[in-house]
């Protein structure tokens, strides 16, 4: 099986598992099907990215794959714990994922809104400040962890704008997904029907968009390398 066929198979499996998971979220959020399909999502997406890219993989692809591994641990490891410990494990692994994405996107900062449209930094900063302010009263001792995570995911989203528009949108949707988690966990009276469904559909779309954008950027880089000796 060639790289394209292997990647296509992995992405089709990812899409199928994603649909099964979202249906399970609506039917029975606490079922084994819901948990097991969530465990499979990031490995399948990572497998597709790995199959689609040739070795030696560049920094962007390599770190994206590592971020997907940390995301998978964030999906699966909290099931081994209860209460605040489970939530801290979730935050810990996803913090590692966000830091890894930051490292992956950092070389593209000169193309990001930091350099091109600095006024766009305001919405990212405002979103984080508002989210932390809303969640702080209910976060208690976890407020420091929530603040650190909020700053990191906002930084990731800002740097993502330098990679591509697709990656940037994926990062924004990631912020939405994590905001729903924080609001659900810390804000009394926050009630969204089928909260798990909305958290997961935004999470799945975010990771898929980031992966798609990274693969596109990688393909462009490979094309530049092939053309450069002739220029």
- How much is the pLDDT for 225? 67
User: What beta strand segments (E) does 80-154 contain?
Assistant: none
- Residue pLDDT, tens place only, 20-74: 999 999 999 999 999 999 999 999 999 999 999 989 999 999 999 999 999 999 9
Q: 212 CB contacts (<8 Å, ≥6 apart)?
A: 166, 170
Query: How sure is the predictor about 4, in pLDDT bands with cuts at 50, 70 and 90?
Result: confident
Rounded to whole angstroms, the Cα distance separating 18 from 200 reads: 9
Looking from the CA of 84 toward its CB, the CA atoms found within 13 Å total 9
- How much is the pLDDT for 94? 97
Mean pLDDT for the stretch of residues 188-197: 91
Q: Where are the alpha helices (DSSP H) in 161-229?
A: 165-186, 195-227
| Burial of 33: CB neighbours in 10 Å, binned 0-12, 13-18, 19+ | middle
- How much is the pLDDT for 191? 84
- Residue pLDDT, tens place only, 79-116: 999 988 998 999 999 999 999 999 999 999 999 999 99
Give the CA-trace dihedral at 215, 221, 226, 230, to 10 degrees: 150
Do you find a cis peptide bond into 88, omega within 30 degrees of 0?
no
Mean pLDDT for the stretch of residues 115-120: 91
What is the DSSP code string of 111-146?
Answer: GSTTTS-GGGHHHHHHHHHHHHHHHHHHHGGGHHHH
- How much is the pLDDT for 223? 80
Mean pLDDT for the stretch of residues 138-148: 91
Mean pLDDT for the stretch of residues 127-147: 93
């Amino acid at each position: 099986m060639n790289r394209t066929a292997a990647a296509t198979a992995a992405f089709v499996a990812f899409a199928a598992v994603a649909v099964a998971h979202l249906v399970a979220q609506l039917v029975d959020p606490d079922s084994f099907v819901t948990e097991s399909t969530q465990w499979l999502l990031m490995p399948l997406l990572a497998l597709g990215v790995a199959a689609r890219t040739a070795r030696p993989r560049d920094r962007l692809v390599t770190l994206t794959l590592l971020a997907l591994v940390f995301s998978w641990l964030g999906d699966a490891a909290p099931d081994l714990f209860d209460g605040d410990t489970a939530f801290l494990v979730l935050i810990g692994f996803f913090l590692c994922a966000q830091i890894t994405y930051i490292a992956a996107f950092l070389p593209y900062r000169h193309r990001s809104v930091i350099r091109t449209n600095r006024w766009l930094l305001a919405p990212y900063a405002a979103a984080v400040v508002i989210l932390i302010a809303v969640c702080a009263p209910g976060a208690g001792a976890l407020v420091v962890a929530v603040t650190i995570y909020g700053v990191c995911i906002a930084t990731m989203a800002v740097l993502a704008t330098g990679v591509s528009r697709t990656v940037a949108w994926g990062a924004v949707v990631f912020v939405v997904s994590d905001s729903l988690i924080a609001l659900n966990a810390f804000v009394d009276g926050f009630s969204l029907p089928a909260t798990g469904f909305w958290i997961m559909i935004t999470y799945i779309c975010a990771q898929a968009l980031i992966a798609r954008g990274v693969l596109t950027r990688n393909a462009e880089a490979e094309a530049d390398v092939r053309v450069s000796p002739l220029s």
